[in-house]
Amino acid sequence: MTEPVFDHERLDVYRLAIEFVALAGAWLDDGALAGCRHSAVGHLDDASTWVAANIAEGNGKRSTADRARYLEISRGSALECAACIDVLVARKRLPVTQAQPAKAMLVRIVSMLSKLIGKLAGPGALG
């Protein structure tokens, strides 16, 4: 990635989300999921994109409530990615050895988003 130009590009969670998009894209383009027509593949493609897109859009909002809402949507998309990976492993379309590092990235993304949302919501909001 190039030098950050926009504020969201300075966020570690955004950079990690972009890494995840690249990983998922590699699976889709020429890796384990290339040519796979399972519906979870399309959902994974879309949801991985929306994780990063909603972080960027939320970071550009002026109100704290709007920022938190977009980060929550992003967190939901990350969880959707994890579910898609689980489905693809269960359907034997994706090897567990490839799924595990990706899910570890998603755990980090969800954790980072939860902390950002908690900071925006104030003390004790997320617990």
* 2 within domain boundaries: no
Report if residue 116 sits inside a domain.
yes
pLDDT of the residue at 123: 64
Assess if residue 1 is contained within a domain: no
- Residue 75's pLDDT is 98
In a domain, 94, yes or no: yes
The domain containing residue 67 runs over which residues?
A: 8-121
What is the Cα–Cα distance from 30 to 106, expressed in whole angstroms?
21
Residue 20 lies in a domain: yes
pTM of the model: 0.90
Residue 3 counted as domain residue: no
CA distance 117 to 70: 9
Q: For each successive 10 residues of the chain (127 residues), what is the average pLDDT?
A: 83 97 91 83 93 95 93 98 96 93 98 95 59
So what's the pLDDT on residue 126? 46
Q: Has residue 126 been placed in a domain? A: no
- How many domains is the chain built from? 1
Q: CATH code at 43? A: 1.20.1440.60
pLDDT of the residue at 1: 58
Within-domain flag for 100? yes
User: At residue 54, what is the residue type?
Assistant: N
